[in-house]
Structure 1
Amino acid sequence: MATSEALLVGRERDLAVKLVGGFAALVALAMVAAVVADPVDAPVASVLTERVVPLLVFYAPAPVAALGAYARCGGPACLAVGIVPAVVFAVLVAVGTLVGVPNVGGGDALLGSLTVGFALVGVSGAFLGYCVGVAAAMAADLLGIGSDDSEA
Structure 2
Amino acid sequence: MTTTEALLLGRRRGLAVTMVVGFAAVIAVSLAVALVAELADLPTAAALTDRVIPVLVFYAPGPIAAAGAYARCGGPACLAVGVVPALVFAGLVLLGTTIGVPGVGEGGAPVEGVATSFALVGLSGAFVGYCAGVTAALLVDLVGRGQVTDD
Give TM class, smaller chain. Answer: over 0.9
Matched, 1:134 2:134: yes
Asked if residue 151 in structure 1 is aligned to residue 138 in structure 2, the reply is no
Structure 2: how far apart are the matches of 1:129 and 1:112?
25
Structure 1 unaligned blocks of 5 or more: none
Query: Unpaired segments of 5 or more residues in structure 2?
Result: none
Rounded Cα–Cα distance in structure 2 between residues aligned with 1:145 and 1:45: 45
Instruction: Kindly tell me the number of residue pairs found equivalent between the two proteins.
Output: 150
Query: What residue in structure 2 maps to residue 32 of structure 1?
Result: 32
1:45 aligns with 2:46: yes
Identity, % of aligned positions: 58
TM-score (norm 2): 0.96
TM-score when scaled to structure 1?
0.95
Matched with 2:124 is 124
Cα distance in 2 between the residues matched to 1:46 and 1:38: 9
Alignment-derived partner of residue 93 in structure 2:
93
CA distance in 1, matches of 2:77, 2:108: 33
Aligned residues: CA RMSD: 1.2
Q: Report the alpha carbon displacement of residue 104 of structure 1 after superposing the two structures with TM.
A: 1.2
- Specify the alignment match of 1:5 in structure 2: 5
Deviations 1:121-152 (A, max 9, x none): 0000000000000000000101112434x339
Deviation sequence 1:29-58 (CA, Å, 0-9, x none): 10000001112122212110x211100000
